Amino acid sequence: MKRVLSGIQPSGSLTLGNYIGAIQNFVKLQHTHQCYFMVVDLHAITVPQEPKALREQTESVAALFVAAGIDPEKANVFLQSHVPAHAELGWIMTTLTHMGELERMTQFKDKSSGKESVGAGLFVYPSLMAADILLYNADLVPVGDDQKQHLELTRDLAQRFNQRFGEYFTIPEPYIPEVGARIMSLDDASNKMSKSNPNPGSYIALLDPPDVIRKKISRATTDSGREIKYDVKAKPEVSNLLSIYSQCAKLSIANIEAKYEGQGYGQFKKDLAEHVIATLEPIQQRYREIRSSGKIIDILDKGAQRASEAADETLRNVKERMGFLLRG
Ligand code: AMP
Ligand code: TRP
């Protein structure tokens, strides 16, 4: 069976962008692949985190994975910090990475621009991500569009290792959805929807109550026209809302355009809010059940155990190939 790995940072409340761009595909792939889905807490600390908030967010993201439909019996759900091999292979990958490669990463450029002081962890973050993926010899990595460049680096590092130390790593492929790989901010369609945006009106959190969702969508920026048409260049805001509509209502964009022909934005936005609510309500219900049951700790424990078995074997093989003297 082919292997899948992906991760999400516990650095804030997950958004509809995370769901449409990534988690939705995690749920789909678990039926056909051997899956590893983790909460990447070691990545989250590349920017300062408040300890109490980090702990709460980590448990919350893990519970959301399960609430969104990931079955912990089918897929391994675990925390990155519970499998020490991530940090260890992360270091090894850092030593194979060139400074220039990291300097070219657009996420690093975005996150560090204008900052007086930038943590070294933020710089080497893509090497750790490569280790995450290669530890499980993943064939496929479901991510949103913004992770494409990190995945290309992962492929380069895997090839570099294979050339230097003999064929070992699988070269992973990105799995990026055609619609919804880049859900944009509700207040500015030139930025991606992000949980780290200081304006909560710019994103829909997976745990937003229905009234908040209605309000955020009714206030979402549109243009001064009336036409509901998908045209990313001319109508970026409306196109973004159409992508969200299409993903939540499971209708094609052409279908939605036809449905609203000759109508203004008002009804379209009202209906869109109801489709988003209908998508999120069952997830929120399951989330509350999982959090109050306390089961998540046990799920993470089992997930980490199974993940460690695979990861430790890879790490041992890597070290052997590189010339580390192994323990007897
Ligand atoms: P992060 O929240 O940065 O840890 O991202 C977790 C996953 O969600 C990654 O695969 C991202 O590519 C994806 N993702 C995050 N924001 C968006 C967005 N606005 N649209 C689509 N995918 C997204
Ligand atoms: N860098 C990813 C993000 O910010 C999160 C991540 C860490 C990841 N390790 C990964 C995604 C491995 C896919 C595979 O969204």
- pLDDT tens sequence across 26-49: 999 999 999 999 999 999 999 999
Q: Which domain holds residue 125?
A: 3-176+294-322
Q: At what angle do helices 265-293 and 210-219 cross, to 10 degrees?
A: 150
- Indicate which residue's Cα is closest to atom 17 of ligand 1: 17
Are residues 52 and 84 located together in one domain of the fold?
yes
Please report whether residue 213 resides in a domain: yes
Please report whether residue 97 resides in a domain: yes
Beta strands in the chain (DSSP E): 3-8, 34-39, 76-79, 140-142, 173-175
The pLDDT value given to residue 201: 97
Q: Is the CB of 147 under 6 A from ligand 1?
A: yes
At residue 200, what are phi and psi to the nearest 5 degrees?
-65, -20
Q: Ligand 1 mean position to 238 CA, how many Å?
A: 20
Are residues 260 and 312 located together in one domain of the fold?
no
Please report whether residue 251 resides in a domain: yes
The pLDDT profile of the chain, 328 residues, written as one tens digit per residue, is: 999 999 999 988 899 999 999 999 999 999 999 999 999 999 999 999 999 999 999 999 999 999 999 999 999 999 999 999 999 999 999 999 999 999 999 999 999 999 989 999 999 999 999 999 999 999 999 999 999 999 999 999 999 999 999 999 999 999 998 888 899 999 999 999 998 899 999 999 999 999 999 999 999 999 999 999 999 999 999 999 999 999 999 999 999 999 999 998 999 999 999 999 999 999 999 999 999 999 999 999 999 999 999 999 999 999 999 999 998 8
3-state secondary structure of 146: helix
- pLDDT tens sequence across 106-142: 999 999 999 989 999 999 999 999 999 999 999 999 9
Are residues 9 and 132 located together in one domain of the fold?
yes
Are residues 26 and 116 located together in one domain of the fold?
yes
Interatomic CA distance for residues 55 and 25, integer angstroms: 26
Residues in the annotated binding site: 9-11, 17-18, 132, 144-146, 183, 192-196
The pLDDT value given to residue 179: 81
The CATH number assigned to the domain holding 246 equals 1.10.240.10
Are residues 99 and 142 located together in one domain of the fold?
yes
Q: Is the CB of 129 under 6 A from ligand 2?
A: yes
Q: Is the CB of 133 under 6 A from ligand 1?
A: no
Are residues 53 and 121 located together in one domain of the fold?
yes
At residue 195, what are phi and psi to the nearest 5 degrees?
-70, -15
Interatomic CA distance for residues 122 and 102, integer angstroms: 10
Which helix (H) or strand (E) segment holds residue 320: the answer is helix 296-322
Q: Which two tokens stand for residue 32?
A: 């056909």
Please report whether residue 119 resides in a domain: yes
Are residues 123 and 27 located together in one domain of the fold?
yes
Are residues 26 and 104 located together in one domain of the fold?
yes
Active site residues: 111, 192, 195
Cα–Cα nearest to 150, from 108, 91, 201, 199: 108
Please report whether residue 102 resides in a domain: yes
Q: Is the CB of 142 under 6 A from ligand 2?
A: no
- The total of structural domains in the chain comes to 2
Please report whether residue 30 resides in a domain: yes
Cβ contact 277:213 at 8 Å: yes
DSSP state of 97: S
Q: Is the CB of 7 under 6 A from ligand 2?
A: yes
Are residues 223 and 306 located together in one domain of the fold?
no
Please report whether residue 183 resides in a domain: no
The CATH number assigned to the domain holding 94 equals 3.40.50.620
Beta strands in 169-302 (DSSP E): 173-175
Q: Which ligand 2 atom is the nearest neighbour of the CA of 80?
A: 9
Are residues 10 and 80 located together in one domain of the fold?
yes
Which helix (H) or strand (E) segment holds residue 24: the answer is helix 24-29
* Candidate of 150, 176, 193 to mutate for ligand 2, largest count of ligand atoms within 8 Å of Cβ: 150
Are residues 206 and 90 located together in one domain of the fold?
no
| pTM for this prediction | 0.95
Please report whether residue 116 resides in a domain: yes
Are residues 73 and 155 located together in one domain of the fold?
yes
